[in-house]
Amino acid sequence: MSATTAVGRRATAIESIAVSRQFRPWRLILHAFLIAMTLLWIFPLFWAVYSSLRPIADTVTHGYVSLPAGGLSLDNFKTFWTEADLPYFYANTLVIVVPSVILILLLASMVAFACTQFSWRFNLVVLMIFTAGNLLPPQVIIVPLYHIYLSTPIPMLSSIDIGRFSFPIFTDNNLLYDQYIGIMLIHVVFQTGFATFVLSNYMKTISKEITESAIVDGAHVLRIWWNIVLPLCRPALAAMATLLFTFIYNDFFWALILLKTGDKRPITSALNNLQGEFFSNNNLIAAGALLAAVPPILVYIFLQKQFIAGLTLGSTKG
Amino acid sequence: MARTTSISPATADAPEAGELVATRRGRYHVLTRYDRRVLAAMVGIPLLLDVVLIWWPTVTSIYYSLTNWDGIGDITAGNFVGLSNYRFLLSGGYFQFWPAVAHNFIWLAWLTFIATPLGIFFAVLLDRDVRGTRIYQSVFYLPVVLSLVVVGFIWELQFSPTEGFINNAFGLVKSGHIIDWLGNPHINLFAVLIAASWRHVGYMMVIYLAGLKSVDPTLREAAKVDGANEVQTFFRVVFPVMAPINTVIVVLTAIESLRAFDLAFIINQGKNGLELLSILITNNSISESTRVGFGSAIAVILLVVSLGPIVAFLSQAMRPAR
């Protein structure tokens, strides 16, 4: 405190940096605290990585907390990859996540566009319906939803078969239950609520005059949405795409309840089943968990900015 | 067909229409019928999906909760049991109910009074020009991208009784004093809460940091000039200005606590000390379980509790901008 007052009234940016770089005992405490917390935070992940790199035989003979006598290897990863048939589950995830994210962004941006660029009587009510729907705990709706999924007839046409994969159009049991299309549908509907909220917050910052003058110039609303408003929302759309990818990729609950066939499960919920299969080998399970975490970790590394923007767009007003 | 409703058809279709209407700028609702229909569809289709797959099931939950339906066949008049599901629950007839309520409450209290404040604390520390702030932030926020399934597995490697890090590192396995962190019903909830906090703290930090960035820097400078120290500046100046974010944070924490499901399910399917309302719903009413009406009554109780934070969030978020 004495240092800050000594600097005087003109707290310019340069000076405040200079002050912070100056040695002061509480800075040392601050950094010690932060470093301790950082180590604490990173440790569980480090331990998972370390376990995954050790052969189980080595762990068993030398104990869980010990240095690796036989060296480290990627064998656990290789074993899990092939034995658990991991590429198959990655493909399941991909089939569910990609179309869902695209559909969510399309639907949510339409609602947000109509609710923010035009004034009509119920636009606020509509936004509330979407936002509140997304805030409900999924378990509140799951029982009736499960029965809707079991009782809604969906045409069974044919399927696209690629090697071991079979993607039914639209179902292979005439139902929404236990189908890719069913799990996509609930993701789309549930997350559209969230994306609508975030995108409408963002679109509120776009001047209505842009839309108004485009209408005056004779553009149709569909063109205004696609050619004018959506390009202006590119940062928000990128942020939402990143966030939604992570959310849907990480989903456990919907897939647990609405899918039954093990072969249709996306990787995150498949992991839980695989746990039973490999329960005797913790190191192998560690490798599996890390493999399943690779896509979100790639997001973390390469799309950190978009991910954080997505999280914070939803909480702060645009 | 006329492009706009307010302009005479003869001129509206002419190429100079844009020019002509330019004088009417600022005028609202010059939408054609076609445009209105498109807009109605843009809102209507997603809204229909939302109502059919979210709000209709919400209402149906209430309806189911008044029955003893087993999920097979149709609900007939004979299935209606009035409020007896609720009476049975509240009177403690279902022995897992009150423990689950208590666990959800502990979950909420833990996140609200420990994890969220810690996230805020990290945000406040890292918001200033601390050297290496980006690195610290990256580490704390790393668990946020991970699935709770993966989080659960990572922490099982710590807490596992004979194979986990903690018991081995402290020699509890060798000495035979094994602590069953995830199996002992007196402590497993707290072990799970540590895992949950690992993720929650970073989440709160990210949101709070964004809020802190939006605080007008002149406010802090003014406080400094007036001789306030950092603690005073935060509690008397920054914190009150952050009121909207504070609400959001509290609401998000409450909703996370009510939704809690994945971690408890992964550890032991929500039994033996890890009962939660969300898990009781699925255990009673989904797949081979046939107490649909009963499970729905738990869902309705969860719904009623959730309405508090939801309404708080909506009234915060939908308030007209300043």
Residue whose entry in the numeric block shows the structure tokens 């990173």: A42
Cis (ω within 30 of 0) for the bond into A170?
Answer: yes
Decide if A221 contacts B31 (C-beta within 8 A): yes
Higher local confidence (pLDDT), B42 or B318: B42
B74 Ramachandran zone, left/alpha/beta (phi>0; psi -120 to 50): beta
Average of per-residue pLDDT across A253-263: 91
Contact A272 B38 (CB under 8 A): no
The closest alpha carbon to B147, from A109, A143, A271, belongs to A271
Task: Determine the residue type at A208.
Answer: K
Mean pLDDT of chain A: 87
Q: Tell me what pLDDT residue B288 has.
A: 77
Helix and strand numbers (H, E) in chain A are: 18, 2
Is the pLDDT score of B67 beyond 80?
yes
pLDDT more than 90, % of chain B: 62
List the beta strands (DSSP E) in chain A: 156-162, 165-170
Residue whose entry in the numeric block shows the structure tokens 């990143």: A242
Measured between beta carbons, the chain B residues lying within 8 angstroms of A34 are 125-126, 130, 132, 136
Task: Determine the residue type at A75.
Answer: D
List the single residue in A with minimal CA-CA distance to B42.
Answer: A110
Is the pLDDT score of A18 beyond 80?
no
pLDDT grade for A22, boundaries at 50, 70 and 90 = low
pLDDT grade for A23, boundaries at 50, 70 and 90 = low
pLDDT tens, B269-299?
988 899 999 999 999 999 778 899 999 999 9
The values of phi and psi at residue B260, to 5°, are -45, 125
CA A84 to chain CA mean position, Å: 23
Decide if A152 contacts A136 (C-beta within 8 A): no
**Domains of chain A, start order:** 81-313 (1.10.3720.10)
Q: Tell me what pLDDT residue A252 has.
A: 95
Q: Tell me what pLDDT residue B7 has.
A: 36
The values of phi and psi at residue B321, to 5°, are -60, 150
Is the pLDDT score of A167 beyond 70?
yes
DSSP B29-84: ----HHHHHHHHHHHHHHHHHHIIIIIHHHHHHHHHHTB---SSS---GGGB-TTH
Tokens of B108: 């909420």
Higher local confidence (pLDDT), A284 or A163: A284
| Per-residue CA distances from B82 to A111, A159, B307 (Å) | 39, 46, 23
Q: Tell me what pLDDT residue A56 has.
A: 84
Q: Which residues, other chains included, contact B253 with Cβ-Cβ below 8 Å and sequence gap of 6+?
A: B108, B111, B112, B115, B116, B200, B204
Higher local confidence (pLDDT), B103 or B18: B103
pLDDT grade for A316, boundaries at 50, 70 and 90 = low
DSSP 3-state of A295 = helix
List the single residue in B with minimal CA-CA distance to A133.
Answer: B54
| Per-residue CA distances from B133 to A64, A104, B72 (Å) | 34, 34, 58
Of the listed ranges A56-60, A305-309, B163-167, the least confidently predicted one is A56-60
Helices A25-53 and B116-127 pack at an angle, to 10 degrees, of 120
The closest alpha carbon to A299, from B57, B290, B129, B145, belongs to B145
The closest alpha carbon to B259, from B99, B113, B107, B109, belongs to B107
pLDDT grade for B24, boundaries at 50, 70 and 90 = very low
Of the listed ranges A127-131, A165-169, B75-79, the least confidently predicted one is A165-169
Tokens of A52: 């995954």
pLDDT more than 70, % of chain B: 90
By Cβ distance, the residue of A197, A204, A316 closest to B245 is A316
pLDDT tens, A192-247?
999 999 999 999 988 888 888 898 888 899 999 999 999 999 999 999 999 999 99
List the single residue in B with minimal CA-CA distance to A309.
Answer: B210
Q: How far is A126 from chain B (nearest CA, A)?
A: 8
Q: Is A246 exposed, middle or buried (0-12, 13-18, 19+ CB in 10 A)?
A: buried
Measured between beta carbons, the chain B residues lying within 8 angstroms of A197 are 317
pLDDT grade for B320, boundaries at 50, 70 and 90 = low
Decide if B255 contacts B169 (C-beta within 8 A): no
Rg over alpha carbons for chain A, rounded to the nearest Å, is 25
Contact B53 A30 (CB under 8 A): no
pLDDT tens, B190-246?
999 999 999 999 999 999 999 998 888 899 889 989 988 888 989 999 999 998 899
Contact B24 A216 (CB under 8 A): yes
Q: How far is B189 from chain A (nearest CA, A)?
A: 18
Is the pLDDT score of A2 beyond 70?
no
Q: Tell me what pLDDT residue B62 has.
A: 96
The values of phi and psi at residue A256, to 5°, are -60, -45
**Domains of chain B, start order:** 96-285 (1.10.3720.10)
Contact A34 B18 (CB under 8 A): no
Q: Tell me what pLDDT residue A230 has.
A: 96
Measured between beta carbons, the chain B residues lying within 8 angstroms of A282 are 157, 160, 163
